[in-house]
């Protein structure tokens, strides 16, 4: 059996991040969560961090704006999954710089989780949101970092439920792979 990837989730206490952390643990991956020290004092997120620790997650303290803490966390893992919120998506350039410096990452999943942006002709206000995502994609690709983009149709799933299939698109480099939503991306141990 192949060795499981060590996975770091940045933004693990957020809405989507907590589910990614849980799925990683349930799939048997050594799981790390980078959280801000100030998050521990939040009554709800503090309990979430305790539940992470109780389930075997290695909680690391750091911040998107503290390059040293990012680098230290990234050097411990094989895969980085960013689930930062919209307000912090542009700050992923700091993650990209730390991944480049560390040089050990097998796959980076930037936080976007949108519909596939290359297949749509967007108009405002969505166009501006896509431009930010494309800027991060260009930065990842320019640095030569192994990546995968997850396009999960989140923006349209509620509106077009009857018109779409239950599929998500995963971009691993230049390949596009459709996966049924029933199958977790964590069921694969080789990212």
pLDDT, residue 151, reads 73
Assigned CATH topology for domain 7-187: Rossmann fold (3.40.50)
Q: Provide φ and ψ at 156, rounded to 5°.
A: -115, -10
| Sequence-separated contacts (24+) of 92-98 with Cβ below 8 Å | 92/64, 92/136, 92/139, 93/136, 93/139, 94/64, 94/65, 94/67, 94/70, 95/10, 95/64, 95/70, 96/136, 96/139, 96/140, 96/143, 96/145, 97/67, 98/67, 98/70, 98/71, 98/74
First to last CA, the chain: 14
Per residue in 143-152, pLDDT (tens digit) is 999 999 887 6
Q: Delimit the domains of the chain by residue range.
A: 7-187
Express each pLDDT in 113-153 by its tens digit.
666 665 456 677 767 777 888 889 999 999 999 999 887 65
Q: What is the pLDDT of residues 74-108, one digit of tens each?
A: 999 999 999 998 889 899 999 999 999 999 999 99
Ranges of beta strands (E only) in 106-174 are: 107-109, 148-151, 167-172
């Amino acid at each position: 059996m192949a060795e499981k990837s060590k996975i770091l989730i940045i933004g693990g206490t957020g809405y989507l991040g907590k589910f990614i952390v849980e799925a990683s643990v349930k799939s048997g991956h050594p799981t790390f969560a980078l959280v801000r020290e100030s998050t521990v004092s939040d009554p709800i997120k503090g309990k979430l961090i305790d539940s992470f620790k109780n389930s075997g997650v290695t909680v690391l303290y750091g911040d998107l704006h503290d390059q040293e803490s990012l680098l230290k966390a990234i050097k411990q893992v094989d895969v980085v999954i960013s689930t930062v919120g919209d307000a912090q998506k542009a700050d992923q350039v700091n993650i990209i710089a730390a991944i480049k410096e560390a040089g050990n990452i097998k796959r980076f999943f930037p936080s976007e989780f949108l519909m596939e942006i290359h297949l749509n002709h967007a108009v405002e206000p969505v166009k501006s949101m896509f431009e930010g995502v494309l800027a991060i994609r260009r930065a990842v690709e320019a640095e030569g970092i192994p990546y995968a983009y997850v396009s999960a149709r989140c923006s349209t799933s509620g509106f077009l439920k009857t018109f779409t299939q239950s599929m998500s698109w995963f971009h691993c480099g230049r390949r596009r792979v459709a996966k049924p939503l029933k199958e977790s991306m964590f069921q694969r141990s080789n990212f």
